[in-house]
Structure 1
Amino acid sequence: MDIDSLLTSDEIALRASVRAFVDTQIKPNIAQWYEDAVFPLEIVPQMAKLGLLGMHLKGYGCPGRSSVEYGLAALELEAGDSGLRTFVSVQGSLAMSAIHRHGSEEQKNEWLPKMAAGLAIGCFGLTEPAAGSDPGSMSTFARRDGTDWVISGTKRWIGLATVAQVAVIWAMTEEGVRGFVVPTDTPGFTATAISHKLSMRASIQCEIELDNVRLPADAMLPKAAGLRGPFECLNEARYGIIWGAMGAARDSYLTALAYSQERMPFDKPLAGYQLTQQKLVDMALEINKGTLLALQLGRLKDAGRLKPHQISIGKLNNCREAIAICREARTILGGNGITLDYSPLRHANNLESVRTYEGTDEVHTLIIGNHITGLPAFR
């Protein structure tokens, strides 16, 4: 579809730099990282040098790139692995965005320059064991004790918590949901990595226990009151997913295409059979459509006109299509496709998590349904 003709020279250059990083530093190693279930922290300084941490934020040492540039970076990162894009998303779209959008000047100046430089890692504690799609029912509670706040509760599926220096924790208070900036070395804060995962193995997800974590009054994010605060951050992360899912899909498609051109069943390239070509065509169609959708949403975001239901359209469609593409690509690879020698099944497994976090298919369907009908159907 000649999508490059819709991009500026700066956007293409940014994409090229991230793609080169993924091709040289990630793809040769990702299978082993996935097998060993480790996230390589040694690449964080390189991502900071490329301007990938908080890249869409302005000031406080942040790169200040456009939404489309951030999206293109997310696409290239997820072509390597969803864990890479997730790191950038948790760091920039969640933790840094929460502080940048809702924090005090003191909080911004203390944390954002270090986080943009990769000298501090952040996490975002919203989801709980019994409150995934319904954060309004969270049980983590922050009570006042003199001028201090004391937080107790449990968070689950929190990216990067075991390696983070700062956590943005959302808790119920007597005045409703509020956010808090919590240094992870605060007494009572414990993060434990979740193991035995079948998805997102080259990534870090954790459970956080907050046992009477005592914080000063100025730890609260002053500009975030109610669920609107965390939801605004979630929309930032959802936007990146719209692009990233197409990166996983593209890498799976290209892997299957190359394999089908080299494989010679019955003395003819696999790509020369009609059924294989149908699979490749269907994949290519959805990747082009999904990337055009992401680009349109990026242009709207840069113009300040992107709406929540439009983000849900992108997240729902592109995750759903990307999983189908990765699974179909695996079928072209045959039995070889179930090994880590090839990327499609790894991408498909990762996308099961991506499809779930930042809003399930069901949640985004209801957001779009509410917009179409004017009738909320969440309860």
Structure 2
Amino acid sequence: MTDTSDLIGIDTLLTPEELVVREKVRGFVDSDIKPNIAGWYERAEFPLEIVPRMAELGLLGMHIKGYGCPGRSSVEYGLAALELEAGDSGLRTFVSVQGSLAMSAIAKHGSEEQKLEWLPRMAAGTAIGCFGLTEPSAGSDPGNMLTFAKRDGDDWILNGSKRWIGLASVAQVAIIWAMTDDGVRGFVVPTGTPGFKATPIEQKLSMRASIQCDIELTDIRLPASAMLPNAKGLRGPFECLNEARYGIIWGAMGAARDSFLTARDYSQQRMQFGKPLAGYQLTQEKLVNMALEINKGTLLALQLGRLKDAGVLQPHQISVGKLNNCREAIKICRDARAMLGGNGITLDYSPLRHANNLESVRTYEGTDEVHTLILGNHITGIPAFR
């Protein structure tokens, strides 16, 4: 599909290196993901066979430097996330869980031994990680988590449960956040440890080409060396969540762009009352409104990426991008589905799949409401979370 979504020459704001990264990932999505995604989605199957190719493209731990990681820029990572989500949100989520959450936790907060043990394997795709923060009763309020780690001599004993944990059933290592007598701490937990059980959540209506799990932690015994030494309190997991939220800002625009292009192409071919749908004013208005929001959302993502690469990106700015781009992307995908009529409810076309996926993307890493309150606090100086 020829991309007519860039109305203002956004490509001219990208460096040659950034364009090369984008085109490599776009080519991978076009050749390996788009021809297969309808089947994966219908079967609720995550294709583990694409993980080595993702590693080969440098998509795992893409923004992390050293330890065998690619060390690319924030903008390059964002462009990759956009292209991956043009294929499917679930496949972009794999890269996010692996790199922005699990690998970032180790890179930001881990010991040298933990980094050497896990990061090279995770970058190569030979080890998969997951990130256990959310619980059945503690999603937007992780400060009230019930999972608890207590000391037993030099060891730690973990008990509790986690929910909606991406990749847990196929992971070799889990980053588990638990309350202790000294506040929230993170632990590096090999998933083969006795007492660790991950069960995939089934019958999902969203993110079907992805894996989310319940985790049960029963008397898991860990050595003192399993603790992430540099993460204390909720700031530890939140720093990782901000990495994931940043990728979503870009990714949502990929789902929106793919839906826009699908609706545009369909409207040019579908004949109604003697002429193509694209020849009607109402259709053109819908396409124009979609393209405008894609341009604005991509510019927003790029600005935040430049700030991140400069080391000055602020948490509330991430909330601006996550709130705006998810909200606009899901509207674009729904409008694109409507333009396809009855054909739009089949997996022959991508917009409804994207819209369903974005119901999850809009929810995880902070709901609309949470990001609204973050921004409200920034604007007024008054926290209104309670």
Paired with 2:285 and 2:312, the residues of 1 have a C-alpha distance of 37
Q: Does 1:76 align with 2:83?
A: yes
Report 1:298-317 matches (<5 A): 298-317=305-324
Report 1:254-273 matches (<5 A): 254-273=261-280
Paired with 2:66 and 2:59, the residues of 1 have a C-alpha distance of 14
User: Which one of the candidate residues 22, 28, 34 is aligned to 1:27?
Assistant: 34
Paired with 2:118 and 2:147, the residues of 1 have a C-alpha distance of 24
User: Which one of the candidate residues 354, 365, 373 is aligned to 1:358?
Assistant: 365
Q: Does 1:367 align with 2:352?
A: no
SS in structure 1 of the partner of residue 187 of structure 2: strand
SS in structure 2 of the partner of residue 181 of structure 1: strand
Gaps of 5+ in 1: none
Q: Does 1:37 align with 2:44?
A: yes
Provide the residue aligned with 1:200 in structure 2: 207
User: Which one of the candidate residues 217, 230, 243 is aligned to 1:210?
Assistant: 217
Paired with 1:40 and 1:371, the residues of 2 have a C-alpha distance of 41
Provide the residue aligned with 1:135 in structure 2: 142
The one-character-per-residue Cα deviations of 1:177-208 (angstroms, maximum 9, x if unpaired) are 00000000000000000000000000000000
Paired with 2:50 and 2:279, the residues of 1 have a C-alpha distance of 40
Paired with 2:288 and 2:15, the residues of 1 have a C-alpha distance of 28
The one-character-per-residue Cα deviations of 1:65-87 (angstroms, maximum 9, x if unpaired) are 00000000000000000011100
State the shift of 1:30 in Å.
0.1
Paired with 1:330 and 1:138, the residues of 2 have a C-alpha distance of 39
Q: Does 1:53 align with 2:60?
A: yes
Moved over 4 A (4+): none
Q: Does 1:290 align with 2:290?
A: no
Which amino acid is 1:308 matched to? P
Provide the residue aligned with 1:346 in structure 2: 353
State the shift of 1:364 in Å.
0.1
Q: Does 1:191 align with 2:198?
A: yes
Q: Does 1:118 align with 2:141?
A: no
Which amino acid is 2:313 matched to? L
Provide the residue aligned with 1:225 in structure 2: 232
SS in structure 2 of the partner of residue 180 of structure 1: strand
Which amino acid is 2:350 matched to? S
SS in structure 2 of the partner of residue 53 of structure 1: coil
Paired with 2:185 and 2:345, the residues of 1 have a C-alpha distance of 45
Which amino acid is 1:336 matched to? N
- Size of the aligned set, in residue pairs, is 379
SS in structure 2 of the partner of residue 287 of structure 1: helix
Which amino acid is 2:150 matched to? R
Paired with 1:4 and 1:251, the residues of 2 have a C-alpha distance of 17
Provide the residue aligned with 2:4 in structure 1: none
Provide the residue aligned with 2:153 in structure 1: 146
Gaps of 5+ in 2: 1-7
Which amino acid is 2:253 matched to? M
Provide the residue aligned with 2:184 in structure 1: 177
Paired with 1:22 and 1:267, the residues of 2 have a C-alpha distance of 36
SS in structure 2 of the partner of residue 345 of structure 1: helix
Provide the residue aligned with 2:5 in structure 1: none
State the shift of 1:267 in Å.
1.2
Which amino acid is 1:359 matched to? G
User: Which one of the candidate residues 339, 343, 353 is aligned to 1:336?
Assistant: 343
Which amino acid is 1:114 matched to? R
Provide the residue aligned with 1:249 in structure 2: 256
State the shift of 1:121 in Å.
0.1
Paired with 2:12 and 2:31, the residues of 1 have a C-alpha distance of 26
* Seq. identity, %: 83
Paired with 2:274 and 2:338, the residues of 1 have a C-alpha distance of 20
RMSD of Structure 2 on Structure 1 (CA): 0.3
Paired with 1:264 and 1:378, the residues of 2 have a C-alpha distance of 51
Paired with 2:314 and 2:165, the residues of 1 have a C-alpha distance of 26
TM-score, normalised relative to structure 2? 0.98
State the shift of 1:172 in Å.
0.1
Which amino acid is 2:162 matched to? K
Which amino acid is 1:15 matched to? R
The one-character-per-residue Cα deviations of 1:224-255 (angstroms, maximum 9, x if unpaired) are 00000000000000000000000000000000
